[in-house]
Structure 1
Amino acid sequence: MSMNLFQTLLNRRRFLQASAAAGAAGAAATGLTGLAPVSEARAQTVRGETKVTKNICAQCPARCGIDVYTTDGKVHGIYGDTGNPIANGKLCPKGHLGSYFLYDPDRFKGPMRRTNPNKGRHEDPGFVPISWDEAFDTIAARLNDLRAKGESHRFAHFYGRGWGASDAGLYGDFGKLYGTPNSAIGHASMCAEGSKKAKHATDGNNSYNAHDLRKTNYMLIMGASFLEAFRPYNNMMQMWGEMRSKSPRTQVTCVDVRMNPTMAAADRALYIKPATDGAFALALAHVILTEGLWDRDFVGDFFNLNQRFQAGQRIRPGSFNEKWVHGLTEWWNEEVKDRTPEWAETITGIPARHIRQTAIEFGSTRPAIAIFERGPTGHTNGTYNGMAIHALNALVGSMFTEGGLFYQMGTPYGALPANADDFMDDYAKNGAWKSQPRIDMARTELWPMTAHMMQEAGPNHLKGDPYKMDTAMFFYTNPLWTAPDPKVWEEALKDVFVIDTSPFPGETAMYADLVLPESTYLERLQDSPTYPFEGWPMSALRVPAVDPIYDTKHFGDMLIEIGKRINGPTGDYYRIIDNVENVLRHRASGFAANPGDNGVTDFESWKEKGVWYRKPYHWRFIRGDFYEWDGQRYGILMTEDDVKAKLLKTPSGKFEFKSGYLEQYAEYINKELGIPTERVGLVQWVEPKHSGGNRDLYFVTPKTPMHAEGRGANIPHAAAIHQPVAGGRGTVYLEVNPNTARQRGIRNGDRVRVTSDLGSIEAECRFVASHRPDTIVLPFEFGHWAQGRWAKDRGPGHSGEITANVSDPVSGLASYYTGKVTLEKA
């Protein structure tokens, strides 16, 4: 402590002592024995009634329940809903950004029509206001005309984040009544479809996993960004606190290509060469089997209990008694027996001793789970990488167990007021559209195993193969920025009648012929069944905190209003459906027979509570058998047929190390990946095919924790939070290992050029010594040429423009992380 500071504190103490003495003397002189009376305290003037509304955050897919505070018609506070099981009264940092969305000055204020026929980055659309009736009539006229000509297939819906029965849930009926195979094309192929396909191939569930994280004792996290972007993000952070403070403490090994918050917080961080996760997982499986660490209750055991798995040695077919798995013997003989840690070290770059130690820890700890996402699956070998990781969950018996992983139950919604099947005319049943493929060619011989291939739709239209689109409607997706090689979409949409429904001026909106702005999530009524969470069913409800502050509508109501204007029985159907509130009231009728644990039984109580849920999860694997909940306990022993129908939905009814699903597509997989047809079903190591040819650096573009549904770039507050973590005032940094930079004459802070086969972008270099030397990292957030005044032209260059449109042929997932580039000083 300095002498000046000490003297100041001493003088202050003497002053206070003197003041107290003077006060006491004054009180004695006046005969008072207490404090002098003061004026009555007055509360702040009441400015208006504060209302708290239940809603659901839309900053990411987590779907956390929120309490929205509104006073005098103004939203001024957003907090986690204590009654919502995902939020538990908490929010992540971006959860508080809802008012920025609501009061964004760059929002579209109402429906508009384009007046400039030319489309391009530098073209002013010349938008002019129109009425909603004019907008709906214009769209219906185009759609009716296409239908009359037998060309209804040339109309396509594209969507990103579908929330529930009141928006994306309306697409299927619209498509079959109107007559288009393109209702709707989702963005899953540009998101995380690889993890779903890996599970489809091994355990028969084409879905993301739910998890019992509170009870797990070991987590192997592979490329999942658990503390950055894993779903549901807010709850994941809560669970991290519980897992890391409970007894026994959950041990965590993180495997990734770069340093990130999860790596930094883990007990062990292993740096892996991009796209080699499958080799690492197979080596873990090898050790688990050779060390006898597999779960015998789930996997089974040798008939001769003295027999064991030995590296490089085959086991005799029929010598292993498989229980709830299929193909283990062949998997060992044809793949795993030679996948030693030493072999994996040559592929992954991870030392064999670390691989072996991780395997022993994972195999000897119960319960343990392995999770993964786009890190391992965002490559041409992504499905096989995911299958190898998921196979570890089977080996250690974590499927459907306490502390393990399982799948989400659906919400028991009531029926709509009309059945679409009763309103199909001859054209809907037998029209020419029935013989037309989807514009993205999903589910055709080109992509037979995929559900969606949005990244192919723009290029296919441009080529006119299989046909040209006439009209395209976009909801919650912006492929002119999010698709790989998005400049192709810029050319493709120049001759398409584009309808964009975003509240914000994104890149796709700049190509729109009609803008139909949706209300923000604080202004709309909307349901949202949970993404996979803890397995038991849950569905939250958005209740408008304020009436729409501009002339905007809910997307579901837009679709219904267009439907009312379609000729024939389609219009009759939508007139009965009427509006979104009617849809939700009928859906909520299902809660009467299935009351929520929080007392929700109908639409009104759903609005009041903001969420319906019903515990527990209905199925559990216990000591070798599957049991179903009987209302009191897991007391109903399930038959093999029950398990196949409800849980392990594979051809064998078991977890398959040799996938019967993949074997159905043997010729296709052989053609695309070169795997011999007799081996395609095996969980195995497949060499990736990197775009970029002989370029020397891997280019990785992860999301940051502040990535707010693609809107974060135009929120100054979100950008400010980015600054100390990922970038400066006007950019995010390109993160480069110092040795990699110095070899190229690049200094910290230099302007650099990143080049792929598609072209180049520029960025500002920042040294990150903890990244792999062969991998450069550019967080996926900025680089917009539209989206609003703060987003537009904020650096660096857009990573998508140097990302080739290459996809995993099995899952269809775009290979965002598999490109190779060169780096030089700009």
Structure 2
Amino acid sequence: MGMLSTTSTRRTFLKGAALSAAAALGAGLTLDGAATLAEADEGPAQEKWVKTFCGTCIFTNCGMEVKVVNGVATEIRGNKDHPANQGTMCPRGAAQLMNLYDPYRCKVPVKRTNPEKGLDVDPQWQEIPLEEAKEIIFTKMEECYAKDPRRHMFMYGFGDTLHEGPYQKTYTAIMGTPNYAMSCGPLCEVHHAPQLFNNTFIDRVDVGHCNYLITLGRNMGASAAFASGPSRAMADAWKRGMKTVVVDPHCNVEASHGEWLPIRPGGDMAFCMAMINVLLHELNVYDGPYLRERTNLPYLIQEDQDYYRNPETGKPMMWDAAEGVAKDYDAEFGEVALEGAYTVNGTPVETAFEKIKASVKDTTPEWAEGKTGISAEDIRRVTTEFAEAAQIGSTIVIDGVEMPYRPVCLAAGRGSANTMQGQRTYIVADTVNMLVGALGVPGSLIHVEHPKFEVEDGVILPEKLTTYLEKYDAGFTIPFNDMTGKQFSALARFPVLTTAMGAIVDPAKYFVDYDIDVLFPIGSNGFMADTDRDLFVQAYKKVPFIFTTGLLMDECSLFCDVILPEHSSLERQQIHPIEEIMTAGVDSLRVGGVNYKESPVEHVYDTVQFEEFVMELAYRLGRGPQLNMTTSGFFGLMGTPYQLDPTKRYTYAEVLDRYLKATTKDDGKGIDWFRENGFWTFERPVEDCYDYCIQGAGRLPVYDHRDLMVGRHLKANCEKWGVEQPGWEGRMDEVYAEYTPVPEWHENSLTASTDDGFDLYCVNWKISPRILGLGGADNNVWLREVVENHEFDDLCIQINPLAAEARGLKTGDKVLVESQFGGTAEGVVKVTGLIREDCLGFPAQGGHVSKFLNPAAQRGTNYNQLLSAKDGDYFTVSGSISIASRVKIRKAE
């Protein structure tokens, strides 16, 4: 098998000996035997520890050290001086030696000799020299660009976050194609609300100051065994006495430290709406000063749901209760009215706060009990506890800075944001927080990226609404210029994967008038990471030329025409910001800085670095100026002495050296310094850590006017061009209804009553050794051993004892699970009380089908095949996919 062979040299033989030692040691994760092998052959052992950082999860924050003996990496340990992990390591980081010396890695460049493509087709790989492989790619790209740059599509996934460099995010800008797709976006819709309210890609919980935390389908770090700040912050908060309420179909690690409320999948929106009902209609508890001064809830709203604007100035207006008149929002007020209905210039209006109250008038805990499976008593009790713990009106002084103190948080996550109405669920969950003033202040949800807030109509927005709508309208021109699907899914954070793949197969159906000739997927395996595998097969088979830089011969690689073998995580030259993303404790809230790494050993195989390849490709295509300017912009080098010259050619090492020197500013620390030290940190001012301090005059858009206006532009554009969203033909009213400024409940395929026999729900979650399949984790036998032998949430399908008894199932039975969408999955059941009676639980997912991977990677269940991304099923607003569906289960024959 060509791609598994390599020339045997004295160096690679020693590395092979190290690998054998690794296999013998199993989960011991230490290769001291390799040092003996090397010493016997080469004299006294030459030993050193090399500083690096981990790259096997999406939060690559942990510092590591690699022991190298005579050129062989033999041991990994945490860097005790690193502020994130403080010397600790999780299984993913500790097992990276197996990734480095994995015998199943792509070792040499190969090209396909069998023109037929398929998951069960042998590509008949032929090994070729690296320069020949590049030349084939460059020639195909030149031919494509001579025809039409749009005929090139770039695609990346979670596997590519290991690069954490500029080119997966800026590739299309550099190369001048509008077409890109992401296999990581559709199943992770957790960005819209954080961007809307915190102007941050991912929000984080200030658990260092939080006393009452409700998680809604959100993993706070313990379940994933993060060795960095999140797990430590949670442990410290629990020791301090923080109460945790886990609202989730599955009882996770966090629930073991608090309370578990098993919720029915799809009911998360109802739970949030019931909390707002209790706050506003039963307890009458809310933070009046915060809502008047920091939100748009005092804005006057017309009957058509739009802002009432001053006819002369065009500005939204509020009611001055002291003077009994409406004024522009930025005028001087005697007393801003938060409540009430008024008449202004003959137009009936009421405050946005009244609109919110009216929207939840009937969503009582009793109503929500039927949607969630959580008792009305528990919903009412938890909401009351939350309101009392909010300490409305209190303040706190941190390092001399006085701020409101609201030590409560309702933290939504993927488990709730990726079920039906998920994007809206996250927004409504944040509304619960904002009603008690708990957003952007100590103890609540805060930003990560230290943003600069844009303001329009007095309201903060990720991008000014007028600018956004102008760009959106300009892009809605038939035929569409690109295949992203964002024209219909108007608030999509990422390209709509179903549309992108569907447009490759049938461009005309998606209002596109050209084909894709060259596809470049990296870190992207939609055959596993997403649903509807058949669509991917059709799309990949249609594209004439596909190439990739790949670590493993996974399912995506089976369709490639040329593969450039890629460095493993340990071998890459990378930087990554030091900042805690998911949660922040007192000791990690203010930490900032940069991690750096490069290979601690000579590259094991004839592999390449993605960034270096992209730079070479751009220079070959004559796009060097675009590359250099985009790189300078991404790294913040514009206007500094380190800005790249558009006319020159650089290496990636030179780029990183400039970035590191610019980041460390007056210290001017470059690669040489970082090579010795591994990381650089600084302490942020406390004012930079809280939105309250840097939000400025902008108000929070609790009344979601932005989404309302985007939906109206979508409707106007569809009517203008006489088109409907594929899959929603005749159902466009359902699409437009999702663009609501206030909480609204819509029945859906998960919650609607039915007698079709699909009487259970399927749900899944992360487990510690496998985070999104990053870094070759699925193929790592050490991690597989951890999963299958040491994790309670192993690879089995979890079923509640009552559900198991009713179906005659017991632990160890092989079963077949069928989905309402037609997909199936096989697996082995485990009976446990840690899952709702009406649910089946799938820890992570498994079940690879590529025969070129370690056989261990084929074990487990491919959960995603139970879901649907078909037109008419995915979320119209965001293009995301529900991560739960209704299923039925039976013993496998």
Pairwise TM-score range, normalised by the shorter structure: 0.7 to 0.9
1:771 aligns with 2:835: yes
The aligned residue for residue 415 of structure 1 is none
Query: Is 1:155 aligned with 2:162?
Result: no
Unaligned runs of 5+ in 1: 1-43, 303-315, 413-431, 629-637, 645-652
Structure 1 contact 78–96 (Cα < 8 Å) conserved:
yes
Q: CA deviation at 1:250?
A: 0.8
Counterpart in the other structure of 1:253: 245
Instruction: Tell me if 1:716 matches 2:781.
Output: yes
Give the aligned partner of residue 543 of structure 1: 598
Correspondence for 1:509 among 529, 549, 557: 557
Q: Name the residue aligned to 1:590.
A: 662
| Mapping 1:148-187, distance limit 5 Å | 148-149=146-147, 151-161=148-158, 168-171=165-168, 174-182=171-179, 184-187=180-183
Q: 1:179 to 1:676 in 2, by over 3 A?
A: closer
Aligned partner of 1:136 in structure 2 is 134
- Residue aligning to 2:640: none
Q: Distance in 1 between matches of 2:290 and 2:46?
A: 58
Query: Within the alignment, does 1:494 sit opposite 2:541 as a pair?
Result: yes
Q: 1:157 to 1:773 in 2, by over 3 A?
A: same
- The counterpart of 2:499, out of the listed 446, 452, 456, is 456
Cα distance in 1 between the residues matched to 2:481 and 2:675: 38
Q: For residue 740 of structure 2, what is the amino acid of its counterpart?
A: V
Pair 1:239-2:219 in alignment: no
The aligned residue for residue 700 of structure 2 is 654
Q: Shift of residue 229 of structure 1?
A: 5.5
Secondary structure of 1:122's counterpart equals: coil
Match of 1:762 in 2: 826
User: Which residue identity is paired with 1:178?
Assistant: M
The within-5 A match list for 1:454-493 is: 454-465=497-508, 466=512, 467-493=514-540
In structure 2, C-alpha distance between the alignment counterparts of 1:254 and 1:553, rounded to whole Å = 44
Q: Does structure 2 conserve the Cα–Cα contact (< 8 Å) formed by 1:219 and 1:370?
A: yes
Residues 523 and 546 in structure 1, CA contact (< 8 A), matched pair in contact too: yes
Write the distance in 1 (CA, Å) between the matches of 2:749 and 2:481: 27
1:80 aligned partner, one-letter code: G
Corresponding residue SS for 1:809: coil
Matched, 1:815 2:809: no
Q: Which residue of 2 aligns with 1:357?
A: 381
Q: 1:398 and 1:617 mapped to 2: Cα distance? A: 21
Take 1:481 and 1:571, find their aligned partners in 2: how far apart are those partners? 34
- Is 2:47–2:69's contact at 8 Å kept on the other side of the alignment? yes
2:843 alignment partner, SS class: coil
In structure 2, distance between residues paired with 1:210 and 1:572? 33
Cα distance, 1:342–1:743 mapped onto 2, change above 3 Å: same
Q: What TM-score, normalized by structure 2, do the two folds share?
A: 0.73
Does residue 611 (structure 1) correspond to residue 605 (structure 2)? The answer is no
CA contact (8 A) 1:400 1:406 kept: yes
Partner of 2:215: 221
User: Take 2:853 and 2:739, find their aligned partners in 1: how far apart are those partners?
Assistant: 54
The answer as to whether partners of 2:212 and 2:408 remain within 8 angstroms in 1 is yes
- Note the aligned Cα RMSD (angstroms): 3.6
Cα deviation digits, residues 614-654 of structure 1 (max 9, x gap): 322563799xx9435xxxxxxxxx741xxx3xxxxxxxx32
Q: For the structure 1 residues 684 and 721, does the alpha-carbon distance in structure 2 shift closer, same or farther, using more than 3 Å as the test?
A: same
Q: Partners in 2 of 1:436 and 1:96 — Cα distance? A: 51
The 5-angstrom pairing of residues 5-154 of structure 1 reads 47-63=44-60, 64-149=62-147, 151-154=148-151
- Distance in 1 (CA, whole Å) between partners of 2:689 and 2:437 is 9
The CA deviation at 1:780 is 2.7
Closer, same or farther: CA 436–551 of 1 in aligned 2, 3 Å: farther
Identity of aligned pairs, percent? 22
- Greater CA deviation, 710-719 or 386-395? 710-719
Q: Is the 8 A contact 1:712 1:781 kept in 2?
A: no
* Equivalent pair of 1:259/1:770 in contact (CA under 8 Å): yes
Shift in Å, 1:181: 0.6
Q: Partner residue of 1:744?
A: 807
Distance 1:825 1:288, change over 3 A: same
CA distance in 1, matches of 2:627, 2:233: 48
Q: Which residue of 2 aligns with 1:441?
A: 484
Q: 1:722 to 1:188 in 2, by over 3 A?
A: closer
1:744 CA drift (Å): 2.6
Contact persistence 1:367–1:398 (CA under 8 A): yes
The residue aligned with 2:193 is: 198
TM-superposed deviation, 1:297: 4.4
SS in 1 for 2:235: helix
TM-superposed CA distance for 1:211, in Å, is: 3.2
Listed as ranges, the matches of 1:504-653 within 5 Å are 504-530=552-578, 533=581, 534=584, 537-567=592-622, 576-593=648-665, 601-617=669-685, 619=687, 626-627=692-693, 639-640=696-697, 644=698, 653=699
Cα-to-partner distance string for 1:476-512 (whole Å, 9 max, x where unaligned): 1211211211232122211321212121111111111
CA distance in 2, matches of 1:55, 1:228: 24
Aligned to 1:262: 254
Question: Structure 1's 389 and 766: CA in aligned 2 closer, same or farther, altered over 3 A?
Answer: same
Larger Rg: 1
The answer (yes or no) to whether the contact 2:492–2:878 under 8 Å persists in 1 is yes
Instruction: Provide the aligned length of Structure 1 versus Structure 2.
Output: 714
Question: Residues 398 and 669 of structure 1: is their aligned pair in 2 closer, same or farther, counting only changes over 3 Å?
Answer: farther
Give the match for residue 463 of structure 2.
Answer: none
Distance 1:176 1:222, change over 3 A: closer
Verify the 8 A CA contact 2:418 2:882 in the aligned structure 1.
yes
Contact 2:868–2:874 (CA under 8 A) maintained in structure 1:
no
- Determine helix, strand or coil for the equivalent of 1:287: helix
Amino acid at match of 1:715: N
Given the alignment of the two structures, is residue 784 of structure 1 paired with residue 832 of structure 2, yes or no?
no
Counterpart for residue 306 of structure 1: none
Q: What are the superposed Cα offsets for residues 517-539 of structure 1, whole Å, 9 maximum, x if unpaired?
A: 11011111111235653565433
1-structure distance, mates of 2:866, 2:689: 47
Q: Letter of the aligned partner of 1:256 in structure 2?
A: D
Shift in CA distance, 774/54, structure 1 to aligned 2, threshold 3 Å: same
The one of 351, 371, 386 equivalent to 1:347 is 371
Question: Aligned with 1:275: secondary structure?
Answer: coil
Which residue number in structure 2 is paired with residue 704 of structure 1? 767
Q: Deviations over 1:186-218 (max 9, x none)?
A: 3442342x22112334x1625211332222112
Instruction: Report the CA distance shift for 1:772/1:473 in structure 2 as closer, same or farther (over 3 A).
Output: same
Does the C-alpha gap of structure 1 residues 395 and 344 become closer, same or farther in structure 2, counting only changes over 3 Å?
same
Does the 8 Å contact 1:704/1:781 carry over to 2?
A: no
Partner residue of 2:734 out of 651, 666, 674: 674
User: Aligned pair in 2 of structure 1 residues 705, 594: CA closer, same or farther (>3 Å)?
Assistant: farther
Contact 1:591–1:602 under 8 Å retained in 2: no
CA contact (8 A) 1:285 1:336 kept: yes
Match of 1:799 in 2: 863
The alpha carbon displacement at 1:260 in A equals 2.3
Change (3 A) 1:399 1:300: same
Structure 2 spans left out of the alignment, 5+ residues: 1-38, 295-317, 322-334, 340-349, 390-405, 453-474, 629-645, 717-730
SS of the residue corresponding to residue 732 of structure 1 reads: coil
Contact 2:489 2:879 in 1 (8 A): no
Q: Distance in 1 between matches of 2:161 and 2:825?
A: 38
Distance 1:436 1:464, change over 3 A: closer
Q: Which has the larger displacement, 569-578 or 108-117?
A: 569-578
Q: Which residue of 1 aligns with 2:472?
A: none
User: Structure 1's 126 and 55: CA in aligned 2 closer, same or farther, altered over 3 A?
Assistant: same
Letter in 2 for 1:770: L
Give the secondary-structure state (helix, strand or coil) at the position aligned to 2:683.
coil
